[in-house]
A and B are shown apart, each in its own frame.
Chain A
Amino acid sequence: MAVIETVPADSEDTRGSSLPRYLALKAGGALTSLALVIVLGFFIFRIMPSDPAINMTRGRKVSADEVERLRAQMGLDQPLLVQFGHYVRDLFTGDLGTSYVYRRPVSGLIMDYLGPTLLLTGIAAIISIVLGLWLGQRTAWRRGSWFDKIHTGIALVFWSVPTFWLGLLLLLLFGGGLHWLPTGGMSTPGTHEGGIDHVLDVARHLVLPVTTMVAVIYAQYLMVMRASVIEEMSADYLTTARAKGLREDLVRTRHAVPNALLPTVTLIFLTLGLLIAGAVAVEVVFSWPGLGYLTYKGLSAPDLPLLQGTFVVFSAVVIAMNFVADLVYRVLDPRLKAA
């Protein structure tokens, strides 16, 4: 995952336009992207050379007839365009198809795995954002100090550490070694669901995966916020603020930080979507029953409906977050509102 520094590319065009027009433009863009994703999602997985029917029956005694029957069951015996037609038709009714491997509707499977992923990435994202932004503006304000050097140093070290390795290390120490925290899963089997015990149990299971994820991702927020605040620090309005007799703290929090937040907020929403897709490594290390892992399993069959489904969902989340970023940007930047 790379640090993304971005402002909406077309912000110039929409400057000064009315809100409905702005919304329509952005929504149109989002829907076009989604349509492209749907088309791409169908064909991209069919480029893969392996045949699901042959792969799934490998290692067992099956006759050629049985394999053919399986192919027919999966609809693989029909021409590609016919398959695509069915796929699009079903999509409009919310039907993402039936998984080859799990023999269940893909939408149901995704719902089963989406919750845990949202929980994990949501909490990790909130902590990383708060931590990253807070440290970012502090380090910028004291650029070159020991505080700055230590915190940017630590953040960059964690950023460069392979997620899998860091996760396994924490697991080894706090799980298998000290026995402080569970070594995997989202809850202890047999815990009664819904009670306070269950909530605490899930919280305990969250500690290690969330810590790993936060350690690896907070650096990007720190660095962007830091760069952004540094850029504002030489601005004339800060001199004005100081001239008014404001204390340094207030100059920073009331004037520099709000302006520096602009590019950062866009980044936050853009990365939220990517976080969900990027949680695979953490989910595998900590046996978290999430969507990233489901996708990874889908690749081995290959389970085409499952892959298409998760691809569309992941992409839809990213597109939706982009759309939200556009909206928030408009709210935060008064220049875009001046109609």
Chain B
Amino acid sequence: MSHARLRRPLIAVAVAVILSLSGVAVTASAEADTAAKGDPIKISMTGDVDTFNPFTAILLQSTGINRYQYESLVGYGTESEPVPGLAGTWETSEDGKTWTFTIPDDRMWSDGEPVTAKDVVYTYTSIMKDDALQAANGGLVTNIADVTAPDDRTVVMTLKSAQASNPGQEIPVVPEHVWSKQDPETFAADKDVVGSGPFTITTYKTGQSVELKANPHFWRGKPKISGVTYVAYKNTDAAVQGLKSGEIDLVDGLTPAQYNSLKGSDTITRSAGIGRRYQALAINPGTVDIDGKPMGDGNPALKDPQLRKAIFMAVDKKTLVDRVLEGLGDVGQTEVPKSYEAFFGFGEGHEEVPFDLDAANQLLDDAGYTQGSGGIREDKDGKPLKLRLMGRNNDPAHAQMADFLTSWFKEIGIGLDVSMVTPDKVNEDSTLGRYDLYFTGWSLGPDPDNQLAMNTCASRPNADGSGNTSENNWCSKEFDAAYAAQHAELDEAKRAELVKNAFSIIYDAYVSDPIWYAKSLEAYRNDHFTGFTKQPSKDGVILNQNGYWGLYGAKPASADSASDDDGGLPGWVIPVGVVVVLVIAAGAVAATRRSSTAEDRE
């Protein structure tokens, strides 16, 4: 057969393939746009899953999903207050060392078996006795001396020393009747899981999806949605498109640009929840290791608190929030984000250093930093006051903030040498004290104890960077005393004041200037699901809560709220697109024909 004859069938086949594919595509898009009643809610999953074994799961995505599967003895309410979990009530002895938890009769596992005190003892002692099971929650049991079950309904915990944080929180309790038959270290627990939370995993496809179904035995009542399906998306841009096309119902982790791009759709509701993370500018006050020996290569001039204070004065946080975050954040105060209201803000007698370039210049003049050549001041050794600023190259906000800081610092006579490097490099150099200034940030849990503990003198690293992590490479006896005071205070109101005071001491040392608490940006299809419970309830987040409220409160949208506008391209695009494709195809066919006749003539 000659090629000319071969070509026609080839074109026919190509056309057939294109037509059938578009047919499949159109049918499928119709399916995607109408989420049937009773469908599970589909959520984009951009994080990685290490394992769903609650003893060893570390990554945020896995621990977040496990929160829906396993209750702790005590949970966090919508305002992050302690609320009943597996335990209905709990009591603390006067010395704060003995905690007694009572498990009501209605607590059941998802397979219908009752939850007993023995399950709790099994979980806690497994972690306490087996090093391998301490990967996820080992740090939470170090102060526990003993856990016992005098009867099926009572758990008694004896602590080594009094602690303010509730020892029944955070640790997911597993069913002994399932786990004792497995090797708890290697048990994957990612299929037909038996749990006590509102949803449990039915199937997990590595790198693709996690499917959970509603737990009919959940003690607060069966959820109103049939289940939750996490769909793996490896970039948020694609997830946003999935939300628009109706393939998924809920997306989190949006950038301000993505969030703003979803504005104006009737079917998509956006939610900017107050965040749990602070973003700060850290200043190296002269890093010292656990043995008191200097580490790293911080500029020695920064040991002067007056210079560090002047740097605080040269950071206009409001402008940074407005310009870099496009207003989607709150201006920072202490390291406690706004979402934890009880601990938020300065302690009594402490106040914020305001943005004031004139006052900063005055302060530097008074402290003896004379103007040198080129508008750069000189330090007390006569060297030009030039500082290095380090940020992460995977966070565009860091480079943007650096631009603003460079111009403000110039106005107070400080030169900046900016470098954006890999997150690993930032981690390593900051641990070893190899920086002058760098952008840092931490996410906080509802209990601030851990965050404070990282600032104690005991938390300084070894000379090689191993050992403990110090948050700000700084140590003060005054702070250590403030930390210890809040750690042992059992009265919630009194403790809140002590916590604020401790964080204010860090602030007043001018080692870390909290710039903002970025909002958590989420969006969902309101024509598919509604009723999400936020944490905090007023203006909080739907996903990544310290609890399961967000999805537990969700319910399918009523039929009449569904609308035709699905946030896609305008209607004229399809016919125009089809015409363009047809013209191109016709042109190509004509070109091929003409060339083939020309060729035949040759």
Contacts and interface: CB of A to CB of B under 8 A. Distances in A.
Interface of A: 49-51, 54-64, 66-67, 69-70, 73, 101-104, 109, 112-113, 141-142, 145-147, 150, 168, 171-190, 200-201, 203-204, 207, 247-250, 252-253, 283-289, 293-294, 297, 300
Contacts of A69: 131
Contacts of A253: 3
A117 B235 CA distance: 18
20 contacts: A50-B424, A50-B428, A60-B139, A61-B454, A66-B134, A104-B51, A147-B595, A176-B240, A176-B242, A183-B233, A184-B233, A184-B234, A185-B208, A188-B247, A189-B211, A207-B21, A285-B235, A288-B234, A289-B207, A293-B234
Interface in B545-561: none
A172 B211 CA distance: 26
B21 to A, nearest CB: 6
Which 7 residue pairs of A and B lie closest in terms of their CB atoms, listed nearest first? A176-B241, A289-B207, A179-B29, A64-B467, A177-B569, A180-B25, A189-B209
B238 A289 contact: no
Given A179-B568, A183-B238, A185-B208, A250 B2 contact: yes
Contacts of A70: 135
A70 B132 CA distance: 9
Interface in B117-169: 131-132, 134-135, 138-139, 142
- Interface majority SS (helix, strand, loop, mixed), chain A: helix
Residue among B33, B566, B591 with most chain A CB within 10 A: B591
A337 to B, nearest CB: 29
A283 B599 CA distance: 42
Given A171-B238, A207-B21, A289-B207, A179 B245 contact: yes
A178 B572 CA distance: 11
A178 B234 contact: no
A277 B42 CA distance: 31
B573 interface: yes
B442 A59 contact: yes
A157 B51 CA distance: 43
Residue among A70, A103, A187, A300 with most chain B CB within 10 A: A103
Given A66-B138, A293-B207, A247 B2 contact: yes
Contacts of B569: 173, 177-178
Contact of B241 (A57, A183, A247, A293): A183
Interface in B233-268: 233-235, 237-242, 244-247
Given A50-B424, A146-B591, A178-B574, A186 B467 contact: no
Given A63-B468, A64-B468, A249-B3, A183 B207 contact: no
Interface string B15-41: 000000110111011001100000010
Given A55-B424, A62-B139, A285 B206 contact: no
Contacts of B465: 54
Given A176-B568, A179-B245, A189-B42, A147 B237 contact: no
Contacts, number: 195
B56 interface: yes
A232 B122 CA distance: 78
Contacts of B28: 180-182, 201, 204
Contacts of A113: 206-207
B602 interface: yes
B280 to A, nearest CB: 14
A293 B206 CA distance: 12
Nearest to B2: A249
B207 A103 contact: no
B342 interface: no
B566 to A, nearest CB: 7
Given A64-B467, A180-B26, A297-B48, A175 B241 contact: yes
A188 to B, nearest CB: 8
A62 B142 CA distance: 10
A339 to B, nearest CB: 36
B231 interface: yes
Interface in B201-219: 205-209, 211
A127 to B, nearest CB: 11
A19 B134 CA distance: 59
Contact of B568 (A62, A66, A178, A189): A178
A284 B2 CA distance: 43
A190 B39 CA distance: 10
Contacts of B4: 249
A289 B206 CA distance: 8
B238 A180 contact: no
Given A58-B427, A60-B58, A184 B239 contact: yes
A137 B235 CA distance: 39
Given A104-B188, A184-B232, A204-B25, 17 more contacts: A60-B139, A63-B139, A64-B462, A66-B139, A104-B51, A146-B591, A147-B595, A177-B573, A182-B28, A183-B233, A183-B241, A183-B245, A188-B247, A204-B21, A204-B28, A248-B600, A300-B424
Given A184-B242, A189-B229, A249-B3, A177 B132 contact: no
Given A189-B42, A189-B231, A175 B207 contact: no
A103 B462 CA distance: 28
Contacts of A200: 24
Contact of B51 (A60, A102, A168, A293): A102
Contact of A145 (B40, B240, B595): B595
B577 interface: yes
Nearest to A200: B24
B50 interface: yes
